[in-house]
Amino acid sequence: MQPSWSDRLKSPTFRHPVLCFLAAFRFLTIIPVTWQADKDGEYFRHSLHYFPVMGALIGLAAGLASLFFRWFLPGSVVAVIAIILLALVSGGLHLDGLADTADGFFSSRPREKILEIMRDSRTGAMGVIVISLVLLLKFAALSTMPPAVFFKAVCLMPIAGRCAIVFSMALLPYARQEGGLGRLFYSGHCRLSAGWSFVFLCVLAPFTGVRTTVLILCATGATGLFFSVWCRRKIGGATGDTLGAVCELTEMAVAVGMANTLGL
């Protein structure tokens, strides 16, 4: 049974928004903020509401840093720096999930074996190949953009990626019966968080333009939907690794989509 609105208003999301935000901040970045960190376990499930906000903060920081480097470095070099910054801020968490997902999904094994492969901390050949292709596509897209579009893309990519995580959680159950890191974020509020993420993306329209916002919505929705269907077929749901993978794939889709519109 879905929680009522009165129950939702009594939840930690509304009663302790700062602690929910900090739980999301500490999970999605490697920036050391220790205040009340011991309580994060209580607020992980309610921190999903702040994933789009964290994406905006990460994107804005990376975008501003990229503008600074644009003053004295070529555009292709700045594209590499932007990609490094976006990966570094999360400690490579989502790239690690992408690699583990690729190793499992491309193994042609049954569900239980796929989950076992994904849990292995070692990265196989398919993981390396997929990471390389995703990073190359990001670089190819960003390096073709003029400064104004480049800044916009770097700002929007992390927002779309974090929203895609929330959308996937709303679409898929958690796949591991024994639990895992991703299970800490699942609750009856996932669909509410997905709705808020959609609204957050729509609110970007006055700042990024209607055309760009529609592109972001389409890229995020299509990537999340198709990847979620694939996850359901392969393992019956989502794991922490697949959530990291959909974030990276959505960032790539947004970059490629924005680069493609330059020729239209």
**Residues of 48-76 as b/e, b for ≥16 C-beta within 10 angstroms?**
bbbbbbbbbbbbebbbeebeebbeeeebe
pLDDT top residue among 263 and 105: 105
Q: What are the tens digits of pLDDT across the range 140-151?
A: 999 999 988 999
CA–CA distance, 100 with 122 (Å, rounded to integer): 8
Tokens of 171: 């679409």
Residue 76 predicted with pLDDT over 80: yes
CA–CA distance, 23 with 37 (Å, rounded to integer): 7
**Residue 55: which residues within 8 A CB-CB, separation 6 or more?**
158, 159, 160, 161, 162, 163
What does the domain layout of the chain look like in residue ranges?
54-261
Q: What is the pLDDT of residue 108?
A: 84
Q: What is the pLDDT of residue 148?
A: 87
Which candidate, 188, 170, 193, 169, places its Cα nearest to that of 4?
188
Which candidate, 32, 94, 83, 31, places its Cα nearest to that of 59?
83
Min mean pLDDT across 17-21, 65-69, 200-204 is at 17-21
pTM for the predicted model, two decimal places? 0.90
Q: What is the pLDDT of residue 263?
A: 47
User: For the chain, what is the HEC assignment?
Assistant: CCCCHHHHHCCHHHHCHHHHHHHHHHHHCCCCCCCCHHHHHHHHHHCHHHHHHHHHHHHHHHHHHHHHHHCCCCHHHHHHHHHHHHHHCCCCHHHHHHHHHHHHHCCCCCHHHHHHHHHCCCCCHHHHHHHHHHHHHHHHHHCCCCHHHHHHHHHHHHHHHHHHHHHHHHHCCECCCCCCCHHHHCCCCHHHHHHHHHHHHHHCHHHHCHHHHHHHHHHHHHHHHHHHHHHHHHHCCECHHHHHHHHHHHHHHHHHHHHHHCCC
Residue 100 predicted with pLDDT over 50: yes
One-letter amino acid identity for 145? M
pLDDT top residue among 122 and 179: 122
